[in-house]
């Protein structure tokens, strides 16, 4: 706790209940391989290792952020699973709440349990996914390992592994590699290694996979 120079506890009012315990760390902390300059709930913070959250980004409590992932400035990750080695750009929004459009009012004050209702569908981002600046990933979406989401995209549907998807709504433009190369990457399972082990495997694969054929 020595490094925590300022801790502020916020009180959130939801469904007439006070939820106390949302800890907002508004300061720069460097501890245990986490670089944090952002807002995050303590329970999420405690789960993370080797994660970099840039200034102004927000990660909600039940999110799960994989090792070696970084999240750019002013990005928001809400109740979702993000894999290892992901690169998430600035001003990216992932998994923000879905209001039920079939109700008389979409306003969350009329919901029994707003947090549960708004985040009812899951969001999953695979390992080594790169999400470009200002992209939005809606709830209910799964993005496969190794995929790339172009700047400004709005992802409304699942994106397959190693696809490059752009636009509004995001459509697959192409795949990063042919199926043979994807198979080799998958067999190597580099993304399960720590950064030293991953680097070794990637270097071994690089000359073969990055050649122009």
Ligand X SMILES: CC(C)(COP(=O)(O)OP(=O)(O)OC[C@H]1O[C@@H](n2cnc3c(N)ncnc32)[C@H](O)[C@@H]1OP(=O)(O)O)[C@@H](O)C(=O)NCCC(=O)NCCS
- Contact residues for ligand X (CB under 6 A)? 72, 87, 89, 132-133, 148, 150-152, 164, 166-167, 173
Taking the least distance from each CB to ligand X, the nearer of 133 and 188 is: 133
Question: Are residues 22 and 12 in contact, defined by beta-carbon separation less than 8 angstroms?
Answer: yes
Q: Is 50 a catalytic residue?
A: no
List of residues 6+ apart from 210 with CB closer than 8 A: none
**Nearest distance, CB of residue 168 and ligand X, angstroms:** 8
**Alpha-carbon span 136 to 55, nearest angstrom:** 19
Taking the least distance from each CB to ligand X, the nearer of 151 and 182 is: 151
**Nearest distance, CB of residue 50 and ligand X, angstroms:** 17
Taking the least distance from each CB to ligand X, the nearer of 62 and 133 is: 133
**Nearest distance, CB of residue 71 and ligand X, angstroms:** 10
Q: Which of 26, 99, 174, 199 is catalytic?
A: 99
Taking the least distance from each CB to ligand X, the nearer of 115 and 148 is: 148
**Nearest distance, CB of residue 96 and ligand X, angstroms:** 19
Q: Is 17 exposed, middle or buried (0-12, 13-18, 19+ CB in 10 A)?
A: exposed
Which residues are marked as active site?
Answer: 99
């Amino acid at each position: 706790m020595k490094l925590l120079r300022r801790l502020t506890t916020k009180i959130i009012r939801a469904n007439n209940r006070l939820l106390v315990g949302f800890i907002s760390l508004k300061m720069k902390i460097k501890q245990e391989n986490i670089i944090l300059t952002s807002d995050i709930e303590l329970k999420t913070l405690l789960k993370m290792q080797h994660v970099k959250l840039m200034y102004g980004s927000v990660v909600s409590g039940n999110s799960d952020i994989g090792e070696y992932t970084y999240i750019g400035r002013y990005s928001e990750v809400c109740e979702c699973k993000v894999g290892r080695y992901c690169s998430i750009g600035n001003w990216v929004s992932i998994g923000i709440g879905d209001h039920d459009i079939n109700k008389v009012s979409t306003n969350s004050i009329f919901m029994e349990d707003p947090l549960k209702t708004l985040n009812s569908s899951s969001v999953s981002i695979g390992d080594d996914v790169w999400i470009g600046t200002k992209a939005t990933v809606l709830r209910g979406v799964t993005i496969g390992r190794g995929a790339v989401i172009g700047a400004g995209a709005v992802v409304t549907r699942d994106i397959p592994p190693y696809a490059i998807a752009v636009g509004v709504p995001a459509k697959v433009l192409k795949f990063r590699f042919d199926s043979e190369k994807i198979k080799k990457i998958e067999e190597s399972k580099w993304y399960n290694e720590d950064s030293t082990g991953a680097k070794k495997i990637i270097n071994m694969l690089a000359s073969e996979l990055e050649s122009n054929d």
